[in-house]
A and B are shown apart, each in its own frame.
Chain A
Amino acid sequence: MRDLVFVGYLGLLFLLAFKRPFLFVLAYCYIDIVAPQRLSYYLLNSIPLSAISFGLAFLAWLFFDDKKDSRFTPRMGAILLLLVYCGYMTTQALEPVAAQVKWDWVWKALIFAAFLPLTLTRKVRIEALVLMLILCASALIVAGGIKTAVGGGGYGQLVILVDDNSGLYESSIISTVAIAIIPLILWAAKYGTIFPPDWRVRAYAAALILVCLLIPVGTAARTGLVCIAVLGVLLLRFTQRRILYFSLIGAVGLAAIPFLPSTFTDRMETIQEYEKDESASTRLAVWKWTWDFAQANPMGGGFDSYRVNKIRYKMPLTDEEGRLTGESTTVEVVDAGRAFHSSYFEMLGEHGYFGLALWLFIHVGGVWRMEMLRRLYIKRAREDEEWVAPLALALQNFSIIYLVGSVFVGIAFQPFPYVIVAAQIGLDSYLARRRAEAAFRPIRSVLKRPESKLSTPAV
């Protein structure tokens, strides 16, 4: 039954997209993020859904879109360069089979991220993309948030729609994304035109933000708590009454603690006592291994090169109740094939210094470009451009939260952040074109002689 519903739904989306070809791009985003083939049992799994929808999106742009407004930018070039470099490193990978498996989905994410800005040539399209990302993520977030609220959850136990530990369905990734999209939800609720702001939109936005904040509680992902802290600092940036803001946040946080599940508070406490937490010790050991690995292999080891690691680290002794004994004696732990647990070290270990530099250029470049746009459009202060600076800020905040969350989770190639990068590039190109159009004066209108003595025949 569910299969038929999803097939029918996708058919409907594609039918509507034949009327407005840009909608094929949004349909691809839906298939990439929600992955209805994972929610289906058989029918959708037997169809190459992603390939079909991307093909339709590309052909629609090729044959029906006005390409004179499309622009190619340096960051799109960087994404394509990263794609080529990753492809080359896959052929040289230390773990060729595992590398090929990862490459099979990474190249799709990068190709789409490079292509998408070419289609974002209208303000409504940029808004539609942002809205699509929010609504697709909400399919998972609402389920996870409500389950958390009614008492479900726990590290590795919260099942969001399906029991799948990959893509957006993985707990650390959904925690990071759930917090990172909050600025975009706030923007859409205030400046949206597809769903114009009214009490229903504001109520939905408020409820969605609440369930977004519950996701880190339900998944007990420490990354989520760190992302919440970063979001709090970012929202403070333009707040007038900072002391009041801080006091309110602190009061709400303290008041909420007794209501939080013990699984969450116990896990968050391990942030302070990282020495006795094995996952934190593993992280540090893997990061050290990756650093040494990169010295010996500056170009990296290809996708999933962490599989060749063997690490040893010492952990302090704890008693039966898990408390540090304070003794100097430690226990040695030997581990192998431990994942990078950090996007930075993931890039360094898999694609070396060049890969890391490209990745930083793509994402940190977005933070910088959005800051430039924000400052420019505040200075311009035009009534019809009021939506620009807040959108640039929201996209920038997403990137910052993602970059901080990425320190502790290996999500360097997740498609969602790359779609946000594409939205940033599209916004930047669109605004550059519109500024040029607004500043343009046809030479004829300037050379037209004014009514003066020159036009009066001499006597």
Chain B
Amino acid sequence: MIDNFSILLSHALILIMFWRLVHNVRTDIEEPPRPDEDAAGFAANIRRQRHSRKKMDGPSDA
């Protein structure tokens, strides 16, 4: 009886999990992550260069 209870409980939960995964689109499709506030890579280098150039040039004339 203990064996049957253990098998029943675990297998029922596995079946529920399967059912929920079937109806969960995130099993196959995921939204892209929220972009980082600080970029990285080539684009970030260009941004930093532009930012430091702005600082050196000072405020523009009105």
Contacts and interface: CB of A to CB of B under 8 A. Distances in A.
B14 A124 contact: no
Interface string A184-219: 000000000011000000000000000000000000
Interface in B1-56: 2-3, 5-7, 9-11, 13-22, 24, 26-30, 32-36, 39-44, 46-47
Contact of A441 (B19, B26, B29, B44): B44
B33 A16 contact: no
A139 interface: yes
Interface residues of A, number: 50
Interface residues of B, number: 39
A136 B24 CA distance: 21
A12 B40 CA distance: 47
**Chain A interface secondary structure, helix, strand, loop or mixed?**
helix
Interface string A310-342: 000000000000000000000000000000000
Interface string A5-49: 000010011001101101100100010001000010000000000
Contact of B21 (A30, A136, A138, A194): A194
A452 B36 contact: no
A124 B24 CA distance: 9
A39 B15 CA distance: 18
Contacts of B10: 34, 135-136, 138-139, 142
Nearest to A447: B46
B10 to A, nearest CB: 4
Given A142-B6, A147-B2, A434-B33, A441 B43 contact: yes
Nearest to A146: B2
A439 B47 contact: no
Contacts, number: 125
Interface string A269-288: 00000000000000000000
A439 B41 contact: yes
Given A437-B32, A441-B39, A161 B15 contact: no
A452 B36 CA distance: 26
Given A13-B15, A195-B17, A442-B43, A123 B9 contact: no
B6 A143 contact: yes
Contacts of A194: 17, 20-21, 24
A412 interface: no
A443 interface: yes
B54 to A, nearest CB: 9
A122 B60 contact: no
Given A12-B15, A13-B15, A446-B47, A39 B22 contact: no
Interface of B: 2-3, 5-7, 9-11, 13-22, 24, 26-30, 32-36, 39-44, 46-47, 60-61
6 contacts: A124-B24, A142-B6, A142-B9, A195-B16, A440-B40, A446-B46
Q: Give the top 8 A-B pairs by smallest Cβ distance, nearest first.
A: A143-B6, A441-B43, A139-B10, A439-B40, A142-B6, A438-B33, A446-B43, A441-B39
Given A13-B14, A195-B17, 12 more contacts: A12-B15, A13-B15, A17-B18, A26-B21, A122-B26, A122-B29, A124-B26, A135-B13, A143-B3, A438-B33, A439-B40, A446-B39
